[in-house]
Amino acid sequence: MSESYREMWSQLGLNLEAHDALLSVLGGAYGDIYLKQTNRPSAMGYFDFVMTEVHGLRVKELNDARAAGRKVVGSFCVFVPEELILAVDGISVGLCAGAEFAFDKAEAILPRNTCALIKSAFGFSLGKVCPYMESSDLIVGENTCDGKKKAYEEFGKLVKNLYVMDLPQTKSEPAKALLKAEYQRFARALEELAGKKITAESLKAGIRTVNAKRRALRRLAQARQADPAPVSGLDALLVNQLFFFDDPARFTDSVNKLADELEARTKQGQGVFPKGRPRVVVSGCPMAIPNWKLPMVIESAGAVVVGEESCVGERGSRWMTSEAGDSFEELLVNVVDRYFNIDCAIFTPNPSRLDQVKKMAWDNKAQGVIHYGLQFCQPYQIESGNVARELEKAGIPVLTLETDYSQEDVGQLKTRVEAFVEMIGKGEKR
């Protein structure tokens, strides 16, 4: 891939030497973690192809679309409504923020005790190795946690066109009104960017496209409830990660083909692991590409990850946006209603998330939950206590972990996860 896309990367302003090093590490990690798995569904071949071309063909598609007049909008968060971006014939893409890269440069701007996700976004930008940032006509930041809110003040100095969206922190009618006002403001900004008016028809088409993606992921999630598990947690996580990068129609078709294969496997009693393998739900912070450390450790320890209570997981597909309505205003209310359901840890209080963690454990017949928190991510770290207490009340074993994007603590994580898996493996099955 490297040679055929070097001119494009150079034109985007990437640091080619650093980018080559990044791709080498990424490719090696992917081969070691993903391609050495056995008994994988054949439909995962498509997602392997997407990963081999994630900085190549997909970036070329984005830049070809830009040359044809379309606009690319990059973002970090599930609160940025893809429906509105599609309504101006724009393309929504996720941005790089899942690896420890150029942290020394990031820490020259940010405090060292800033969460890894924020430092990663800065590192990719400062290191000039994220083609998605360089290909975006607009980068959308969102005021979720305080860390992001303040970091965007500095990030705006690094990227060419940053738009910051405010978000509510409570589940109240005034908070919902704030979200509606912000989405109206975002819609106007998109119209100005694209030179196109959002109509009821274009918004409804965008809603249908994103709902189709979510329904496909719901099929995948439901297929994972089977025992034996028809797909590894690693592979399912990869699909959820690529939700933010791939062409929507192509992604939807490919996930549905994967779901077809998994449903057929279940009917035949086939799984990627033996029946009765300990089953785990991972809850907490999102895991962006290439953050595969924790599920790799869990599945190497003899368990299978059967669900992710996370923004890169069930929060991306848990709710649909209603397609009912004949005007832009009616449809925008539907968009607001859908996104206001999201139970990110930024909300206080946040009881629906506690209920959802328990429900996912029960629905997926999990023997335990591992709560994953990035170091210095205060919302999820603080909320982990409530999650653990609620799970314990419900009789669901829980392990709380804090980590970052480095590989330095893999041995420590392995020891703790292996002990947890052994414990839940000896317990009574649901």
pLDDT digits (tens, 9 = 90+) for 308-365: 999 999 999 999 999 999 999 999 999 999 999 999 999 999 999 999 999 999 999 9
What is the reported pLDDT for 3? 72
In a domain, 101, yes or no: no
pLDDT, mean of residues 204-224: 98
For 51-61, what is the mean pLDDT?
Answer: 96
Please check whether residue 293 is in contact with residue 319, taking contact to mean a CB–CB distance below 8 angstroms.
no
CA–CA dist 288, 275 (Å, integer): 29
Q: How many CA atoms lie within 13 A of 100 on its CB side?
A: 15
- Residues 185 and 177: their CA atoms lie apart, in Å, by 12
The kind and range of the H/E element at 283 are: strand 279-284
Residue 300, CB half-sphere, CA atoms under 13 Å: how many?
A: 17
Residues 6+ apart with CB under 8 A from 235: 34, 37, 40, 41, 44, 47
Query: Nearest to residue 281, comparing CAs of 258, 313, 256?
Result: 313
Find the mean pLDDT for residues 143-157: 96
Predicted local confidence at residue 206, as pLDDT: 98
**Of 74, 246, 100, nearest to 155 (Cα)?**
74
Looking at the domain assignment, is residue 216 inside a domain?
no
Quote the pLDDT of residue 375: 94
| pLDDT at site 97 | 94
The whole-number pLDDT of residue 324 equals: 97
Q: How many whole angstroms separate alpha carbon 71 and alpha carbon 89?
A: 8
Phi, psi angle pair for 339, to nearest 5°: -75, -25
315 beta partners = none
Q: Residue 272: which CATH number? A: 3.40.50.11900
Token code pair at residue 374: 């990035």
Starting at the edge strand found earlier in the chain, the sheet holding 304-309 runs 304-309, 279-284, 368-374, 398-403
pLDDT tens, 385-398?
A: 999 999 999 999 99
What integer pLDDT is reported at residue 410 of this predicted model? 97
pLDDT at 4: 86
Q: In the chain, pLDDT over 90 holds for what percent of residues?
A: 98
Written as six digits, the tokens of 293 are 């450390």
Of 123, 167, 179, 108, which is closest to residue 143 (Cα–Cα)?
Answer: 167
User: Looking at residue 428, what is its pLDDT?
Assistant: 46
DSSP letter, residue 429: P
| Per-residue pLDDT at 430 | 36
Tally Cβ neighbours within 10 Å of residue 137.
Answer: 17
> Residue 194 falls within a domain, yes or no?
no
Contact yes or no for 293/410 (Cβ under 8 A) = yes
User: Would 410 be classed as within a structural domain?
Assistant: yes
For residue 394, tell me if it sits in a domain. Answer: yes
Q: How confident is the model at residue 426 (pLDDT cuts 50, 70, 90)?
A: confident
SS3 call for 304: strand
d(Cα 193, Cα 140) in Å, to the nearest integer? Answer: 13
Q: What is the tally of structural domains in the chain?
A: 1
Q: How far is CA 126 from CA 58, 99, 152, 387, in A?
A: 22, 14, 14, 36
CA angle 333, 339, 342 (to 5 degrees): 150
On average, the pLDDT of the chain sits at 96
What residues contact residue 188 under an 8 Å CB cut-off, 6+ apart? none
Residue 299 has pLDDT above 50, yes or no: yes
Q: Which tens digits make up the pLDDT trace of 91-106? A: 999 999 999 999 999 9
Domain that holds residue 382: 227-319+345-426
Question: What is the number of alpha carbons within 13 Å of residue 371 lying toward its C-beta?
Answer: 26
Q: Which pLDDT score, from 0 to 100, does residue 427 have?
A: 80
Q: Which of 47, 18, 17, 13 is nearest to 30 (CA)?
A: 47
> What are the φ/ψ torsions at residue 63 (nearest 5 degrees)?
-75, -30
Rounded Cα distance, 37 and 293, in Å: 15
Q: With 60 as the cut, is the pLDDT of residue 429 above it?
A: no
**Interval 32-52: pLDDT, tens:** 999 999 999 999 999 999 999
Residue 91 lies in a domain: no
Residue 305, domain member (yes or no): yes
For residue 2, the model assigns a pLDDT of 60
- Judge whether 210 lies within some domain: no
